[in-house]
Structure 1
Amino acid sequence: MEREMSGITELEPTPKPRASAAAPPSTIHLEGDLPGVGGFGMLLTLFSYVLILLFFPLSLFYTIKIVQEYERAVILRLGRLTSRKAKGPGLFFIVPCTDEIKVVDLRTVTFDVPPQEILTKDSVTVRVDGVVYFRTFNPTMAVVNVENAMNSTYLLAQTTMRSVLGTKNLAELLSDREAISNEMQDILDKATDQWGIKVERVEIKDVRLPPGFQRAMAAEAESSREARAKVIAAEGEQNASQALKEAADVLDESPAALQLRYLQTLNQISAERNHTYVFPLPLDLLIKLFGRSS
């Protein structure tokens, strides 16, 4: 580009294009047409078919494979996928000289997460263990995108448990396990989706506290129970006092009712055990009795 300033023509330097660094893909999404094995690969495959025909029917023992109902077989021909869809269940045909079989189990797999030393958000060290349930929903991705799907999921579950529980308080960890398990399941499921693995469930089995902290929590719980018991007893005393006050007001309004209540109490005491009791009579009751007799 040219520009003129004070009669002087200057040439602006052409900006250099920025180099775009494209990171290699970390996973294979199996989109588009699968690449072929090439010309040399076709020759090897044709030679393998010729050997199968020459040694027929002995070659049937090597070319026919069987997978169970809960299994699928991923076939790699000269290191390349032959089909996006895995083979099985039942019988299928392979070329023994060029094909490699990877059998994947589709059943739900369970493994225990070993106890992890975790520092909670409120600086309490606990030991937590759990259990993870997962299954393979895409055998091809489980073979192509990860070296060992089960071991990778196992290690990922350990790190996810430590990272998630480290953001929780001890009270949340003890009382809200279901929500924590659901959060861990969502994180694991998103991470393992590119591996063809579905995490079905995550459960926290046990939370172990330090012995000193257990004693402190037990003492705190006992103190709380004693405080509640004292509050309940005080409320009972208050209710009883209120009831006695109301009864006293009623008896004060009717002297005859007071005398009858006194005699009823004497009758109840004498009916329980045969003992001799000496009771002082109220002065007002004596005055009323002697006053009436006179």
Structure 2
Amino acid sequence: MVEQNSEHAEPNFDIEEPVKPTQEAPATAPASSAPTKRHTVSVQPLQKDQMQPSYAQTLDVPRNEHSGYGSFINGLGSCIGFFGAIPCCPCPNPFKEVDQGSVGLVSRFGAFYKSVDPGLVKINLCSEDLQAVSVRTQLANIRDQVAITKDNVTVRVDGVVYYSVHSPYKAAYAVEDMRSSVIERSQITLRSVLGSRSLQSLIQDREQISRDIEEIVTSITQEWGVLVSISIRDVHLSDSDQVALAASARATRQAEAKVVAAKGEVAAAKLMKQTAELLASPAAMSIRHLDALQNMAKTSNAKTIFVPMSVDGVQSLTQGMGGNQTITDGANSGSAAAGPSNQQENSIGQTAQLHALENI
């Protein structure tokens, strides 16, 4: 029976063999379908100095004058806390949690005596109280602050205030409502600083104005144990002020364009003056005539060009072009035979010009 089962098992392997080409198919796939190279990201372990700093400390509590009453309250709180620590007991639990990013301030009979780090804290239910103060950076929006600038323009400004507690004790006991106090102080300082600046300065020097506001507010909030950072987010203007501001910017750009154009004209005039001084000699003018004639003669169409020129100019032109000596000889002989007659000189000059153009 074992041999029969082994014989029947062989066809099963033959049936599964045609499936192999499907496994080789990804090898013939285009390069675009190949898996992309993955970049590995190395994760650095959290260092202790990167975590929340420790604020835990315990102060020396002065001796209570009402020692008998104080001892009784402390004992009663300890008893209640003992039963409250038992699960399912109706007594309150003496263990309290302080979340990460916060600091716990414990006061006994209303007097602060210690601060604790995040975690589980045990307090006396009858004589102690726990207050959690957040030391995280918090955000407060300042919206629609109406201010009048130095040039009597009414603007509406939106700002953002970032503040963080660096002294939990001052933030809890030196000010009644720390968050509201910071926001109110920021709003008052914002309107005061904007009133001393012009509209153009407000638009261009927004970062500098933010730093000025931050310095003034921080000098006050440091007494509350709070550090503040303020940024101006948006400046809203009325439609008429926007049109006036756009017209002023357009006029400024036009004035700058005129100044640039005037400077260019002055520079061009200086170059033209220098060029005229260089081309004032007869030799330079002859070279310019020669270049002009050569450029006109380069075209394929036949042209006859009449250029007013004296006999001396034609001679210098033909000599500069390296033409036939017969032209100059003919011109000299013609001028000698003609004598002082103006008509003969004109005819000779015209003939010399035509010969010069034909040689070109």
TM-score band (shorter)?
0.7 to 0.9
CA contact (8 A) 2:101 2:134 kept: yes
What does residue 86 of structure 1 align with? 115
What does residue 19 of structure 1 align with? none
1:101 to 103, 124, 130: 130
What does residue 18 of structure 1 align with? none
> Are positions 1:259 and 2:286 aligned together?
yes
Counterparts of 1:45-60 in structure 2, within 5 Å, are: 45-54=74-83, 57-58=86-87
What does residue 238 of structure 1 align with? 266
The Cα offsets for residues 32-91 of structure 1, whole Å up to 9 and x where unpaired, read as: 96684844343222111122335553479812223233211122334x1341x4211223
CA contact (8 A) 2:85 2:95 kept: no
Shift of 1:135: 0.6
Question: Relative contact order (alpha carbons < 8 A, sep ≥ 6): 1 or 2 greater?
Answer: 1
TM-score normalised according to structure 1 size: 0.74
The Cα offsets for residues 97-139 of structure 1, whole Å up to 9 and x where unpaired, read as: 3433221110111222112111012211112222111111222
Structure 2 CA distance for partners of 1:177 and 1:35, relative to 1, 3 Å = farther
Q: Secondary structure at the match of 2:244?
A: helix
CA contact (8 A) 2:218 2:227 kept: yes
CA contact (8 A) 1:112 1:130 kept: yes
Shift of 1:240: 2.0
Letter in structure 1 aligned against 2:277 = D
CA contact (8 A) 1:34 1:81 kept: no
Structure 2 CA distance for partners of 1:55 and 1:132, relative to 1, 3 Å = closer
Structure 2 CA distance for partners of 1:139 and 1:38, relative to 1, 3 Å = farther
TM-score normalised according to structure 2 size: 0.62
1:193 to 210, 218, 222: 222
Counterparts of 1:1-294 in structure 2, within 5 Å, are: 36=64, 38-39=66-67, 40-54=69-83, 57-58=86-87, 62-78=93-109, 80-83=110-113, 85-199=114-228, 201-253=229-281, 255-268=282-295, 281=307, 283-284=308-309, 288-289=313-314, 293-294=331-332
Q: Which has the higher helix share?
A: 2
Shift of 1:190: 2.4
Aligned residues: 258
Identity %: 31
5+ residue gaps in structure 1?
1-30
What does residue 3 of structure 1 align with? none
Letter in structure 2 aligned against 1:76 = S
Shift of 1:154: 1.4
Q: Secondary structure at the match of 2:104?
A: strand
Q: Which has the higher strand share?
A: 1
RMSD, aligned α-carbons: 3.2
